[in-house]
Amino acid sequence: MLGNLCLVHAIHSWLPISLSGTNPIVQKCRAEQVKGQKYGGGGAGQCVCKNDGEVCGSDGKSYGSSCQLRAAGAAVRQVRKGACDQAPRITIPPKDIWNISGAQVYLSCEVIGVPTPLLTWKKVSSGHRREKVELLPGDRDNLAVQTRGGPEKHEVTGWVLISPLGKEEGGEYECHAANAKGEAVAMATIHVVESLKDIPTPSLGMKQAHRPDRGPMK
């Protein structure tokens, strides 16, 4: 089975371990997989799955390979190749920003979903009694929207870049992600302050444990 030691003479020969059902487990013996073990003629290798692409199971879960799916038990069938459809989820929401007029700032938002979600940005301003929602970038020439796939598969990262920051850009921004399975939103606020003294210093407790921000493309 997967991860088991196998004989190196079987390298390059695919061994169908189970041919019953629709998803036979096919493994190959790969010698270089075994750490700390010498590989010479007749040495040991390790079984790996031949079809190592993601698959979607009848239980609605995605598996790293058809072999992993088979290992989940006889009740789970392979529905199709590729990960199962999944509504968008925001993995890194945008952070609130404080800065002065004339500064260069950006908001970023990372989302995941299958199929890969479509990411859009909106600015929400609440004036007298009614809310105005503006799809960005609109016609502002100090504002640009950028989107890039990744860093993970089915993930997409988007940015709103503002330079120079003006009073009108203060307010709430919405990162909106949608695919056929659903949608997700996250909000952040841009505070345009009078002077650098008015910028609150984040306390240690507020520090985020995430991996560092990826900046937008230069």
Ligand X SMILES: *[C@@H]1O[C@H](CO)[C@@H](O)[C@H](O)[C@H]1NC(C)=O
Nearest in space to 173 (alpha carbons), one of 100, 104, 213, 119: 119
Helices vs. strands in the chain: H and E counts, helices first? 1, 16
CB of 53 to ligand X, least distance (A): 40
Determine the residue with CB nearest ligand X.
103
Give the Cα separation of 190 and 182 in Å (integer).
27
| Closer Cβ to ligand X, 16 or 200, answer by number | 200
Residue selected from 46, 65, 99, 179 as contacting ligand X according to rule CB under 6 A: 99
CB of 37 to ligand X, least distance (A): 51
- The number of beta carbons lying within 10 Å of the beta carbon of residue 155 is 18
Q: Among the candidate windows 19-27, 102-110, 143-151, 171-179, which touches ligand X by CB under 6 A?
A: 102-110
- Measured CA to CA in angstroms, residue 44 lies from 38, 159, 185 at distances of 8, 50, 51
Give the Cα separation of 42 and 45 in Å (integer).
9
Q: Does 108 help bind ligand X (rule: CB under 6 A)?
A: no
Of 165-204, binders to ligand X (CB under 6 A) are none
Q: Does 104 help bind ligand X (rule: CB under 6 A)?
A: yes
Burial of 29 (0-12, 13-18, 19+ CB in 10 A): buried
Give the Cα separation of 81 and 55 in Å (integer).
4
Nearest in space to 121 (alpha carbons), one of 112, 131, 108: 108
Q: Among the candidate windows 35-43, 46-54, 84-92, 98-106, which touches ligand X by CB under 6 A?
A: 98-106
Q: Does 103 help bind ligand X (rule: CB under 6 A)?
A: yes
Residue selected from 47, 97, 156, 175 as contacting ligand X according to rule CB under 6 A: 97
CB of 196 to ligand X, least distance (A): 8
Q: Does 2 help bind ligand X (rule: CB under 6 A)?
A: no
Q: Among the candidate windows 95-103, 121-129, 150-158, 180-188, which touches ligand X by CB under 6 A?
A: 95-103
Residues that bind ligand X (CB under 6 A): 97, 99, 103-105
